[in-house]
Amino acid sequence: ILPLPLAAAPSPAAAIRTTALQDNVAWDFVEGLTTEVGPRPAGTPQEARARDWAVAKLKSLRFANVRAQPFTMPVWLRGRDEAHILSPFPQQLVLAALGNSGSTPAKGIEGEVVYFPTLADLEAAPAGSLKGKIAFVSHAMTATQDGSSYGYFGATRRQGPSIASRKGAAAILIRSIGTDHHRQPHSGVQMWAEGAKPIPAAALSIPDADQLVRIMSRGRPVRLHLTLTSKMLKDQPSGNVIAEIPGADPAAGVVLAACHLDSWDQGTGAIDDASGCAIVTAAALHAAKAGPLRRTIRILMAGAEEVGGDGGRAYFAAHGAEPHAMVMESDFGADRVWRVDYKLPAGHEGLASRISAGLAPLGIGRSSALAGGGADIQPLVKAGVPVIDLQQDGTRYFDIHHTPDDTLDKVDREHLQQNVSAWAVALYEIANAPEKLDVK
């Protein structure tokens, strides 16, 4: 019997890739944070508990320089969210107020519904034509692997309330920005544009939005009773959590791996974004397994991402002047990485080739799209720090995003491990790149 030919000894990156596919740290992180803290809205005591939990977890995993970075911020708090049709077909509708929604009185308001199939239809409504009415905007969002439909149709949530307010509407309801068929409204933030007075603004679950379209299709006036109570608090405590695996060469720049610790209030934030924090945490540990790192890997678990990115700005204010060699962020769920995008200056060609080669065995292909990063690293990206995106499959992300359904059971353990493996390969290659990489 001839011995089987021996393959060459695996490279450190290949060994890391293989080992990380068996990772348990990330699953334990997601399971722990979502179970022992649960929902963690920005600026609330739950988010503070999440910071304490993360600091303890990162210390137990032997990270260095683990600390919270506190800041304060205004906080919008959900109250009661209720709607029912008064006529012609009395029935309840399931909905959730959007972030920064105006509040109705406790007894609610009543109004006639005016239907707009798209945001463009709402924009085309004559000024003043919505006086005292409840605007209802639907749309046709479908699932996309790259999540691009969220960018486009999400405008209904981001801009719809301000447009309706300027046209005199008493309130606005939108079809949830989502792709599922469950009675689970998708919340999310919106900001009032200059000169737009806050009005009650909420997302109907998708079956409820479809029901309201059917009811309106009967051609009779539809009157609705709407109760959306909420309140705004000033100067509430929030904060980031930061931790490091120190590298030997501080001048070579920090590799920042970001995620966010806060979540929306309805679910336990398992895919958004406990998974992201779990992935970067586990991946950093795997990346360091081959020996001491040249560059420091720094974990940023941002606070208050969901409500506008206060955590990312606080990080930049405190650390933006330090040399950063690369920034990356994980904030698109727990499904597998399918594509890698780069935005790199000259001199990074060799590094990008090594990363792409290391990711290929995981089924991840290099694209020609420019990486953009996420909200938590936006100030650094704008300042010119190189960025790489490990793009996750978004096909089912918007079934769950910002709904009560964002819970642990939605995380697929094997997909999570593939993320850890991809991130570990990338962090290893960046942290140990032998060439001089310009830092910002």
Residues that bind a copy of itself (CB under 8 A): 31, 34-39, 46, 88-92, 94, 181-184, 206-207, 210-211, 214-215, 218, 267-268, 403-405, 407-410
Q: Which does 273 bind (CB under 5 to 8 A by kind): Zn ion, a copy of itself, none?
A: Zn ion
* Residue whose CB is less far from Zn ion, 275 or 356: 275
Q: Which does 349 bind (CB under 5 to 8 A by kind): Zn ion, a copy of itself, none?
A: none
* Residue whose CB is less far from Zn ion, 331 or 389: 331
What is the C-alpha separation between 238 and 405, in angstroms, rounded? Answer: 25
Of 272, 270, 265, which Cα lies nearest the Cα of 78? Answer: 265
CB of 140 to a copy of itself, least distance (A): 15
Stated as kind and residue range, the H or E segment containing 281 is: helix 275-287
Please report, to the nearest 10 degrees, the dihedral formed by the alpha carbons of residues 415, 27, 331, 354 taken in order: -60
Q: Which does 272 bind (CB under 5 to 8 A by kind): Zn ion, a copy of itself, none?
A: Zn ion
CB of 360 to a copy of itself, least distance (A): 33
Q: How many CB atoms lie within 10 A of CB 146?
A: 18
* Residue whose CB is less far from a copy of itself, 37 or 135: 37
Residue 23: both structure tokens together:
């990772």
* Residue whose CB is less far from a copy of itself, 84 or 131: 84
What is the SS3 assignment for 227? strand
CB of 330 to Zn ion, least distance (A): 9
CB of 376 to Zn ion, least distance (A): 9
Q: What does the binding site for Zn ion look like in residue numbers (CB under 5 A)?
A: 272-273, 306, 331
Q: Which does 410 bind (CB under 5 to 8 A by kind): Zn ion, a copy of itself, none?
A: a copy of itself
DSSP string, 290-330: GS--SSPEEEEEESSTTTT-HHHHHHHHHHTTS-EEEEEE-
Sequence-distant (≥ 6) Cβ neighbours of residue 288 within 8 angstroms:
245, 297, 431
What is the C-alpha separation between 260 and 439, in angstroms, rounded? Answer: 24
Q: Which does 37 bind (CB under 5 to 8 A by kind): Zn ion, a copy of itself, none?
A: a copy of itself
* Residue whose CB is less far from Zn ion, 275 or 418: 275
